[in-house]
Structure 1
Amino acid sequence: MANKHVLVLGAGQLARMMSLAGAPLNINISAFDVSSEKIVHPLTQNIIGHGLNNAIAKADVITAEFEHIPHSILDICQQSGKFRPTTQAIKAGGDRRIEKQLLDDAKVANAKYAVITNRAEFDDAITSVGLPMVLKTALGGYDGKGQWRLKSTTDIDATWSESQQSLSDTPHQAIVAEEFVPFQREVSLIGARRVNGEMAVYPLTENVHVDGVLSLSIAIDESELQQQAAKMFQAISDKLNYVGVLAIEFFDVNGKLLVNEIAPRVHNSGHWTQQGAEVCQFENHLRAVCDMPLGSTKAIRHAAMINILGQDTLPKEILAMPNCHIHWYGKEKRAGRKMGHINVCGNTQGELDKALKELVAILDESEFPELKQHINQR
């Protein structure tokens, strides 16, 4: 099989894991740091070149590991004819206005919303969307940042004052006001789509967030929800003529799914596939963008993923646990930063639950807040 060279826009942990997954298939990865314009090796972070045009010239395929990429860079990549999925998909992932319009065009259920750029539109949104509602910046904002919750009329002026600051700080910014959805849980679906429309989806994942940041993802087997999610995945990916791995986050509202947001890339909630699926999300993304047959998305064991946030060490006892796999990202320690993750597996759901409880008994509870409580309630 001929070597393929894939250029990833972004030089973080997702490019790193793509590189690890691509090596057995003779797929070589280089990463383009969009802030420095340096071309780096995704594992060593050594500089191997400079400039976007040089990076594009050496690549067979271009893809992305995150959404917040300057449109000028996306447009150059699109002109090369090598970029997958599409720049429109990346722009939708990075701008809630485009994303909401996409969801409406694909006719998939999502929360009622309004777009706000001034006080008059803010006041109109209070009437049309209703209270309580959630305000989110259209550009930027992730892991709970750039969001406000407006619960009562007494907080209207204070909330407007806070959100208005974001409008003035960022060019072309807007606020998307969404109705507050009283959901039971958050779930996500990771799927892959080829150029010819071939599609494969992984089992749904139930997600637990702490302070707006993903803490725990557990693969679940619920056929009715799975069917709903797969139909929505097909509608969105077909609308975008998508190529690659796409993640969709949902609210589960009494057994009915509403799309919360999309991520046009490999996704944190799909890391469990490294040990829990026949072919992981990183390999399937590369297979899709390189127009190779997709690998099986079948779960081969029960699996869960725990994020390591702001810590660069773990108790050594974890290495002795047969059902645990640690994945470090090689990052410099910083409070709240995603430093790595732990995949936990079991041949049965009971084995997985037992392994999770053994793990949280070893972890420092102060470094993994609310995790022990959630796992012990399972």
Structure 2
Amino acid sequence: MKVLIFGAGQLARMMYLAGAPLGIEVSAVDVGARIVVDPVSKMPLSITLDEAMLEADAISVEFEHIPEDLLDQARKTGKLLPGMEAILTGADRVREKRLLERLAVPNCGHRIVDDVAQLDEVVDALGEKLILKASRDGYDGYGQWRLTCREDLPALKQELAGLDLQAVPLVVEQMSLFDREVSLVGIRSKQGELKFYPLAENLHHQGQLHVSIAPAPACSAALTAQAQDIFTRLSEGLGYVGVLAVEFFQVGEQLLVNEIAPRVHNSGHWSMQGADTCQFENHLRAVCGLPLGDTKAAAASAMVNIIGYDKLNLELLKISGCHLHLYGKSVRAKRKMGHINLVGDNYARLGRTMLELADYLPDEHFPHLRTEGQKLQSF
């Protein structure tokens, strides 16, 4: 079977590696140059994009921000999974909020703003502690602004004055006083079968995910059921096929959807060593119409992102339960260079492994590693 992935980054690479044992041939599309490339080497392949779409058994994506005309071309083949609506919704916060409202899915109080003059009214309605997000092309903390007191509103309005909010509106949300951030990665098959990985707890720094712990500690059955119910409503509402990630704010025992990602997701990377079938293989199984794999956690797991850093001491590979995944990228600030998966028999063992790893890595680039390792030892 052949699967064509729009996008040629690390997620396409990991799908390629997951598909090889199943005999699934994965190729990738550099959507900027509009050429088909090898997902690992990034070298152009001797096939046109039109030919690759014709030959593919399924077409999917590794990120949401695909030119709409390309998505429409793929849609017309009848092979695009998940569908165009889901991908466009993941790329546009306004579409996303409208989907959540249509399906009565809890999320943060918000307003859509297409003129800075509306911000005074928004502060009146939602309060003075707000986060403002560009509705498109914002990720990893980019395209976001914060307001913490009304006195700062004039300066914020001046900063935003140069933006074309008619073209790219803002989604303005109440800052949620959440207890933690968690995510649910699940899969829906062509037949509507659903499988769920356990909830993961996510730790961010400067707008980027740094560490995921799965299964999320101190997670009640009721919380898991709530997350799975929301996933079910979203995936069925979109007629979804493939892996879908839903990010939540946890407030007490309530979950508020922060955002959705219609693809394999950074917070599911732990599944490469920590689950029977990883998210990358399960996505390929789903879009190819194959039976879904087991999603149970085989161990307590952590995923540690390597961000803007390439001076790894490879002696860390001596650590039991430590697995390194490098993406072959040149280093730059805030760039995801790879990740490290850790597994342990229980949370205490996982915590000790995280502390072992922290001795090889600088706290400056891995700010949650040591503190989270210490915390896990109490479970």
Structure 1 partner of 2:226? 228
Aligned to 2:82: 85
User: How far is 1:58 from its partner?
Assistant: 2.1
1:138/1:176 contact within 8 Å kept = yes
Is the CA contact 1:115–1:121 (under 8 Å) kept in the aligned structure 2? no
Q: 1:271 aligns with which of 269, 272, 277?
A: 269
Structure 2 partner of 1:208: 203
Quick one: distance in 2 between partners of 1:226 and 1:138?
Answer: 29
Does structure 1 conserve the Cα–Cα contact (< 8 Å) formed by 2:350 and 2:373?
no
In 2, the alpha carbon distance for the partners of 1:357 and 1:31 equals 37
The structure 2 residue matched to 1:117, chosen from 114, 119, 131, is 114
1:240 aligns with 2:238: yes
Q: Post-superposition shift, 1:74? A: 0.9
> Match of 1:372?
370
Cα distance in 2 for residues equivalent to 1:361 and 1:166: 44
Letter in 2 for 1:40: V
Determine whether 1:67 maps to 2:67: no
CA distances 1:262-293 after superposition (whole Å, capped 9, x unpaired): 00000000000000001000000001111111
The separation in 1 between residues aligned to 2:355 and 2:53, in whole angstroms, is 47
Residues 129 and 147, structure 2, Cα contact 8 Å, conserved in 1:
yes
Aligned pair in 2 of structure 1 residues 370, 351: CA closer, same or farther (>3 Å)? closer
Q: Is the 8 A contact 1:38 1:47 kept in 2?
A: yes
SS at match of 1:288: helix
Among all aligned residue pairs of Structure 1 and Structure 2, give the percentage whose two residues are the same amino acid: 47
- Judge conservation of contact 1:137–1:166 (CA < 8 Å) in 2: no
Distance 1:208 1:29 in 2: 31
Structure 2 residue matching 1:262: 3-state secondary structure: strand
2:259 maps to what in 1? 261
Offset, 1:125: 1.8
Q: Give the structure 1 partner of residue 156 of structure 2.
A: 159
Q: Which residue of 2 aligns with 1:308?
A: 306
The answer to whether the Cα contact below 8 Å between 2:351 and 2:375 also exists between their aligned partners in 1 is: no
Q: TM-score, normalised by structure 2?
A: 0.95
Shift of 1:51: 4.5
- CA deviations on 1:168-188 (whole Å, 9 max, x unpaired) are 6xx821100111110011000
Do structure 1's residue 76 and structure 2's residue 73 form an aligned pair?
yes
Q: Is residue 191 from structure 1 mapped to residue 208 from structure 2 by the alignment?
A: no
Give the aligned CA root-mean-square deviation in angstroms: 1.4
Task: Please state how far the C-alpha of 1:316 moved relative to its aligned partner.
Answer: 2.1
What does residue 280 of structure 1 align with?
Answer: 278
Q: Would the aligned equivalents of 1:136 and 1:147 in 2 still touch at CA under 8 Å?
A: yes
Q: Is residue 32 of structure 1 aligned with residue 29 of structure 2?
A: yes
Equivalence for 1:333: 331
Displacement of 1:73 in angstroms is 1.1
CA distance in 1, matches of 2:33, 2:184: 33
For the residue of structure 2 that corresponds to 1:183, the secondary structure is coil
User: Aligned partners of 2:320, 2:177: CA distance in 1, in Å?
Assistant: 39
SS in structure 2 at match of 1:242: coil
Q: CA, structure 1 residues 376+167, in 2 after alignment: closer, same or farther (shift >3 Å)? A: farther
Q: Tell me the number of residue pairs that the alignment of Structure 1 and Structure 2 aligns.
A: 373
User: What is the aligned counterpart of 1:292 among 290, 293, 299?
Assistant: 290
Contact 1:113 1:179 in 2 (8 A): yes
Q: Which residue of 1 aligns with 2:315?
A: 317
CA distance in 1 between counterparts of 2:208 and 2:302 reads 16
| Consecutive unaligned residues in structure 2, runs of 5 or more | none
Specify the SS of the correspondent of 2:359. Answer: helix
Tell me how far apart the structure 2 counterparts of residues 291 and 258 of structure 1 sit (CA, whole Å). Answer: 32
CA change 1:115–1:49 in 2 (3 A) is farther
